[in-house]
Chain A
Amino acid sequence: MSQLILDNDISQPVVVPPLLKWITVELLQQLRPGEIVRDERVPEILRTLKQPTFVTIDSDFWHRRWRHPDYCILYFYLRDDEQHLIPDLLRALFRHPEFHTRAARRGKVAWVGTDSVRYWQFQVAQMQHLEPPPRRHKK
């Protein structure tokens, strides 16, 4: 079962091949072929999977009402011509303890930019901000 579920709108030619080198990926539409997946069906579909992480560039998913303990949503705040950055940003994000494992990610709806990350956590009232990873000092 795939760890990552990609929204269909993502620029697949630049995002999917690099991701497949290190993680399992499926497209939302592949999970329900032939079905018109309405917005309210997206969380329903995610809940049928084992703690999936849904990757989207649709800003309408960046809202705390989408939080659920069974899945994680990552909204990438990028221009259409910046989508090639998604694989590296995702890898960097998954190095953080808060996003390192499926179990750690579940319940989160995150806004991921090129230099900052903020997220809502299920049953947590305040929005959380992720500290940037510590830079390695060169000697």
Chain B
Amino acid sequence: MSSFNPQTPASYKGLHSFLAGLPGIDQVGAEARAAALGTRSIKKESKIWAIDMAISMVDLTTLEGADTPGKVTAMSAKALHPDPTDPSTPSVAAVCVYGDLVYAAREVVGDRLHVAAVATAFPSGRASLNVKLADTKEAVDAGADEIDMVIDRGAFLCGNYGKVFDEIVAVKQACGTAHLKVILETGELKTLDNVRKASWLAMKAGADFIKTSTGKVTPAATLPVTLVMLEAVRDYYQETNIRIGVKAAGGIKTSKDAIKYLVLVNESVGDAWLTPDLFRFGASTLLNDLLLQRQKMITGHYSGPDYVTID
């Protein structure tokens, strides 16, 4: 459960001042810290632990125009049993699809996995609030228990923080009991200062999770951007005692990458966040690499693409 303070127009100035007063970030320093954490050497039993944890944090995703019920059904089955030859393999955290295919996912996973739907005119976010809310409600009605919304980056970049805030509040209400992830689309925000501001804005407006990217814009998730978001979440926790989750989405393809993110979480916000309830990977191809690495750790030899399923 998150807390939020609905702001009236009169207090937008308060929101602006608050965001302006957040500490700045030195890009070079932040990148250096993220890179340094990426040099941690995670081997043997800690690598196995990390791989299994990463698998359990995956939101297995398909968000293509060409998606069909068949595609979603197959992916959902894999989400439940990522490696049919090894039942000890953990299942993923969620499947992530467009709102109109939520039903197909739900049919396969039942109550065993979360079903996350992207909503609010994903990925661009360019539509009226009514359209965005309708998008959200339909996904929730169809059975999504997690909603991944996008913020209005245009509004953010022209300084209309109040509009961005209000939309998140409204979408959160439309979610009902569903969990809200707020996508910042960091690749369009560009500066780390913007990422910090957007993170705080989203948390104050009611986000349960803040998410880096839609995956449709490059760069998507990066270690420095995720570090900044984790630091915002840490600071928010210091202030409110509430833990907000972070989802790194897009561009994370290999186990090595995923493990770097886990190290990042471990050494920034701390190991309380090393749970699918507070950290997720938005990914599609990552899962197979995790499975291949898992197989290698268990069998002792390198595995190959024939030994993991394509959906």
Q: Do A and B come from one complex?
A: no
